[in-house]
Chains A and B, each alone.
Chain A
Amino acid sequence: MPGTIAASIAVNRFGLGARPGELDAADRDPKAWLARQVANKSSFAVASSGLMTTGGAAEALASYLEDARTRTAGKAGTLSPQEQEDAILKPLAQLKEIAAGEIEARTLRGIMTEASFAERLVLFWSNHFTVSASKAVTIPFAGVFEREVIRAGMTGTFADLLVASTRHPGMLLYLDQAQSVGPNSKAGLRHDKGLNENLAREILELHTLGAQGGYTQADVTEFAKALTGWSVAGKRTQRFVPGADPGDFIFVKAFHEPGKRSVLGEKYRSDGEGQGEAVLRALANHPSTAQRIAAKLARHFISDRPPPAAVDQLARSFRTSGGKLPALHETLISLEAAWQPDAQKFKSPNEFFLSALRLTGLARIERTGIIGGYGLLGQAPFQAPSPEGWPDETASWAGPDALIKRIEWAQALSDRLGTSIRPVDMARAAFGPALSPRTATSISRAESASQGLILALMSPEFQRR
């Protein structure tokens, strides 16, 4: 029997589940196996050939908007809800193609990577800074945001990650910042547009301090004013920033609210673009942020209700390292509570999907199978239901119907793999000594190899990590 319990925890709890042979690789020194991934920039990279840059995505968006305008021009009020929906949805096909490419690339990375702890960290941070393709304008950006902001930022600091996330057109469009205008700015005084506080509020509530982190409505408004001018180059901004390529981050001085700002008791001089960044960096270093990030990480990797001591250790690491992410991630590896033999987290649909495909050792899967699978399981990549991202607790994922969907998907997968598989060996290769006798017996007594694989994938130990 390969491996020890510690190796099983490393690959299953910290990683995305074992590919064939991976348990042995981790077994030599499970903690070192994890630590190597955290420090290495290439662990976080994804093959991006055939995928668009932020600029390319912006061009695709511009051509979509033009198409949608042509289809609805002059028809307001005369279209039925179905026709209105079609007019908006039909030209979306091209944008969805971009998104599908991103989903495919991320999925193949998730299935094939030998650094699956790094991949889990990408998924965690990408969810923390959610850019959901729930709006037409964010569809082409959600994937490239993950590659160019999250993956690229994994060996830097939290503050740099926060600034990069806030400057990306995906985020600026998702949370309505791109069109926010200071009421006393040049453009605001002409009354064409006004303040939109959505991004400022969500940064405070979701990306940094947290709803209980100690800020007021006045802080939200002041921060929103500090961020005015942070926008995305497009048709409407051409006259303000003529040279910019579509999709570039731009600072539009004519949108920026003039004057000093006061956020959480700190004063910020009026210096245009830098004002918003100065607030962001202060928020990144706020003690409530350290505590909140620590609590989220511990909840994600340990249990829905992690021990306070583990959270404190992570928060301390965040503060003393100045928010260095590799240091924080190494602290996570060192936590005693993370090595409890009993798995306490129920896998998210995405984790279940990727770990199941890793277990089977499958080397490739068609795009339709990927998209359909995520849809059935209820977690389509880059389509989190809200800026809060996907939920991260058992009660959100372990509903009766969700369980049935997992069984149906496992059935479809095993139908596809046919009868040449050996599910007991697969389960042993994934869990080693952590495979329970009850599950091993159940799989070995299955009426067919195909049913055995369903039982392995749906077993209590495989559903958890």
Chain B
Amino acid sequence: MTFPLITRRTALIAGGAVFVAGSAGALTVSQQAGARKFVLVILRGAMDGLAAAAPYGDAYYRALRGKLALALPGELDGVLPLTEGFGLHPKLAFLHESWTDKELAILPACASPYRERSHFDAQDVLETGASQVFGASDGWLGRALNALPVNELHEAVAISGALPLVLRGSPHATSWAPSFAPSASDDTLSRLMDLYADDKLLGPALASAIETNAIASASGTDSMDRKGRRAGPGAYFGLAEAAARLLSAEGGPSAAVLSFGGWDTHANQGAANGQLALRLAGLDAALRALKIGLGSNWSKTVVAVVTEFGRTVAENGTGGTDHGTASAAFLLGGAISGGKFAGDWPGLAPTALFERRDLAPANDLRAVFMTVLREHWGLEQSLLSRTVFPDAAGVHAMAGLLKV
């Protein structure tokens, strides 16, 4: 059987016999490719990247950030030192360990192609992978799944009730969330399947749900406690735990999408402590839960943590920040060749700011996603810049961010 979209590199990594099949130059790969896990974490509401990965060494940092500026490394509540004058927020202890273990790469100034400041339109562009608002009605991860060989591992699960836009358009995507109600009998479910025989919406949705539920109950995920349903940053942890369990289950999917909300800190965002710090601590705990839960799968895992846009560099009038442009993105996991920054850093000098108020977009978020899809999953660049990300001819995957 041939899988024309898998590259030579993936095939070699997979360790299987490699031979050219047919005129398209396609290669045969073993099932191993599907064991390479990808977790996409979307921070909804615009996470302040300058608080998460603080450029404390930048000459303009302290003056512009005002009360939001973090203390120096070694000081009380100081940033956790990285290199090049950057430090992680003091609540991001796990991420700092990962940096030290060379499992974290940071892109300090990323943005999608979207340049306005609406959360909803920005999330639309982030998830569709298009170059403009409403440029596509399905998501880039869904299209990437469709491009992979059909294989039970090449599936994705969103840890949420509804399917997020990024996964729409793929029959290989499903959603799952912990439940505490009595479950329906198999007989009722099969009668409903009959009732939905001609229903193009409900039939496939129920079939997919029944399959995911079977995986969840086999892996013990459905017996988790109520943590998964708590609101706010306390809930991130339980959702991440559930994602890890589903991903590492026998026959589990190779991708998971987590959405964490609550990042729209217009007022009283705080610095080392406070509202944003609480969310960053929740995020850090969730990422640690992913590593622990994935166990031996961690070495084959990439986690991308992204947000729809950044926030203003300067503190606003109410101790918070308003909608901005670029923000930090994180690539984390055992498969990452980390402990370093990737991409460009435009700096905080007034002339370097976008529209004289925001961190300038120095790196295209689509390049971050392409890096994962190309280097981790082995999708071809030409496919990535045409089909998975329409109108992305000038955007390319970055080299050197994944372990070989």
Contacts and interface: CB of A to CB of B under 8 A. Distances in A.
Interface of A: 76-77, 81-82, 84-85, 134, 175-176, 179-181, 183, 188, 193-198, 201, 205, 211-212, 217, 346, 375-376, 378, 385-386, 388, 391, 394-405, 407-412, 415, 438-439, 442, 446-447, 451, 454-455, 458-460, 463
Given A211-B133, A459-B195, A81 B355 contact: no
Contact of A404 (B209, B264, B323): B209
A55 B153 CA distance: 57
Contacts of B98: none
Given A188-B317, A193-B318, A411-B182, A386 B163 contact: no
Contact of B202 (A180, A195, A398): A398
Nearest to A79: B273
Contacts, number: 183
Interface string B191-212: 1101110110110011011101
Most buried by A among B45, B192, B234, B281: B192
B120 A455 contact: no
Given A396-B162, A399-B163, A455 B234 contact: no
10 contacts: A195-B317, A376-B181, A385-B44, A397-B162, A398-B205, A399-B174, A401-B160, A401-B212, A404-B184, A407-B189
A403 B206 contact: yes
B261 interface: yes
B183 interface: yes
B121 A198 contact: no
Contacts of B182: 408, 411-412, 415
Interface string B360-389: 000000000000000000000000000000
Contacts of B206: 400, 403-404
Contacts of A409: 181
Lowest 3 A-B CB distances belong to which pairs? A194-B317, A400-B209, A408-B181
Given A404-B209, A404-B213, A411-B183, 5 more contacts: A84-B278, A211-B121, A394-B201, A395-B162, A398-B202
Contact of A176 (B209, B232, B266): B266
B117 A217 contact: yes
A447 B187 contact: yes
A293 B206 CA distance: 34
Contact of A411 (B45, B184, B212, B282): B184
Interface of A is mostly: helix
Contact of A201 (B44, B195, B323): B323
Nearest to B207: A400
B133 A460 contact: no
Interface string B112-137: 00001111110000000000010000
Given A211-B121, A402-B161, A438 B195 contact: yes
A69 to B, nearest CB: 13
B52 interface: no
A437 to B, nearest CB: 12
Contacts of A402: 161-162, 175
A396 B120 CA distance: 14
Contacts of A211: 116, 118, 120-121, 133
A395 B177 contact: no
A78 to B, nearest CB: 9
Interface residues of B, number: 70
Given A77-B272, A400-B174, A438-B195, A183 B261 contact: no
Contacts of A463: 202
A378 B161 contact: yes
Given A196-B266, A411-B181, A460-B202, A399 B195 contact: no
A281 to B, nearest CB: 23
B306 to A, nearest CB: 18
Nearest to A463: B202
Contacts of B293: none
Most buried by A among B117, B184, B232: B184
Nearest to A404: B209
B242 to A, nearest CB: 11
A399 B161 contact: yes
Contacts of A460: 195-196, 199, 202
Interface of B: 44-45, 77, 91, 116-121, 133, 158, 160-163, 165, 168, 174-177, 179-185, 187-189, 191-192, 194-196, 198-199, 201-202, 205-206, 208-210, 212-213, 229, 232-234, 261-262, 264, 266-267, 272-273, 278, 281-282, 285, 316-318, 320, 322-323, 355
Contact of B317 (A84, A183, A388): A183
Contacts of B322: 196-198
B220 to A, nearest CB: 18
A248 to B, nearest CB: 21
A407 B184 contact: yes
Contacts of A375: 229
Contact of B163 (A179, A395, A438): A395
A82 B91 CA distance: 13
Nearest to B121: A211
A162 B3 CA distance: 57
B162 A77 contact: no
B191 A401 contact: no
A401 B282 CA distance: 25
A313 to B, nearest CB: 23
Contacts of B118: 201, 205, 211
Contacts of A399: 158, 160-163, 174-175, 205
A81 B278 contact: yes
A76 B273 contact: yes
Contacts of B355: 217
Nearest to B158: A399
Given A386-B45, A407-B188, A455-B192, A85 B278 contact: yes
A211 B124 CA distance: 12
Given A77-B77, A455-B191, A404 B278 contact: no
A446 B191 contact: yes
A81 B118 CA distance: 30
